[in-house]
Amino acid sequence: MSTKDVYILAIESSCDDTSAAVLQNGKVLSNVIANQKIHEAYGGVVPELASRAHQQNIVPVVHQALAVANIDKKQLNAIAFTRGPGLMGSLLVGTSFAKSLALGLNIPLIEVNHMQAHILAHFIEDEAQTIPKFPFLAMTISGGHTQIVVVKDHFDMEVIGETIDDAVGEAYDKSGKILGLPYPAGPIIDKLANEGNPKAFQFPKPKVEGLNFSFSGLKTAILYFIQKQTNANPNFIEENLQDICASIQHTIVNIILDKLKKASKQTGIKTIAIGGGVSANSAIRKALKDGEKKYGWTAHIPKFAYTTDNAAMIGIVGYLKYLKEDFTNEAVTANSRFKF
């Protein structure tokens, strides 16, 4: 490929955030995200409402991304978009828009796997984060996914562990619902946990073979615990909220850490990177940094802006694929269960 600057427009619409970003080579020029507040009233993402909101947001979000980057669409070299995994209705909006724009501008179209993008977000050129060296272990933790991945190269990845039921983000949100906290509950539990005693209450850790995860049993244990305690004391949650949150978070972090330690020991890889929305959690970030001293790890923690669903991470994958001339064609369709 030519050594001239490459401008990539990236589009992310896999769930409930509409995002567009412009990258100049590996550097982010803009990263615009439109959040959908409508789901808060339902305690979770409503797929039909999400896809309708994407239709409303995608044109102004792309327009703003180009404006912030100070780039004309005629300067773009390619369009990168999230093909999957995600909610089918949401993916269709981003996929259709990307295909149409690429066709209209007569420039290459690049499909991106959303989970791969969470991992490769570490390769965005940004002073706020460091780029891991191959091979490394990546843990993707979000509302819909929990995976441990061996990353040998940008596009040579192997999933060696994943959840068999709920994702870690769901464990936070469902625990929050039990406690009467608003959706999304993860950041609220994290904040309250910092004010509580993590050893005030003990919750069981699931016994799952190998490197896989399970969080549904923990959710059930928390439900039964709260029901028992509130039957004895109706004010139990209000009087102990910080300690309950701290204990829940302590258990979740230990589950994650145990599997990471096991994966590191099995593979002999001590370079660890995290990604996904839950990687913004303060306790998980601290546990990973503490692992540098305790276990000799080299930890890579993404910038907060690149943790949640965002188009910048789609853009860096698009740039890396552009360099390989790994393009897709206009026959491509969204894939809600897209594997890498």
| Both tokens assigned to 154 | 């940008």
In the chain, the N- to C-terminal Cα span, in Å, equals 25
316 is an annotated ligand-binding site residue: no
Contacts of 293 (CB under 8 A, 6+ apart): none
SS (H, E, C) 293-309: HHHCCEEECCCHHHCCC
For β-strands 7-12 and 78-84, DSSP reports them as parallel
Beta bridge partners of 259: none
Beta bridge partners of 63: none
CA-based angle 250:245:202, to the nearest 5? 55
- State yes or no: cis peptide before 184, omega within 30 of 0: yes
114 is an annotated ligand-binding site residue: yes
144 is an annotated ligand-binding site residue: yes
165 is an annotated ligand-binding site residue: no
190 is an annotated ligand-binding site residue: yes
Q: In 3D, which of 142, 110, 139, 143 has the Cα closest to residue 122?
A: 139
| Both tokens assigned to 120 | 């490769």
Q: Rounded to an integer, what distance in angstroms lies between the CA atom of residue 146 and that of residue 206? A: 15
One-letter amino acid for residue 195 of the chain? E
Q: In 3D, which of 61, 36, 56, 55 has the Cα closest to residue 46?
A: 36
268 is an annotated ligand-binding site residue: no
The beta-strand segments (E) located in the chain are 7-12, 17-24, 27-35, 78-84, 109-113, 136-141, 146-153, 156-162, 271-275, 298-300
Q: Rounded to an integer, what distance in angstroms lies between the CA atom of residue 296 and that of residue 286? A: 15
26 is an annotated ligand-binding site residue: no
Q: Rounded to an integer, what distance in angstroms lies between the CA atom of residue 231 and that of residue 314? A: 48
- Binding-site residues, in ranges, read 114, 118, 140-144, 173, 186, 190, 281, 309
- Binding-site residues for Fe cation, in ranges, read 114, 118, 309
- Binding-site residues for substrate, in ranges, read 140-144, 173, 186, 190, 281
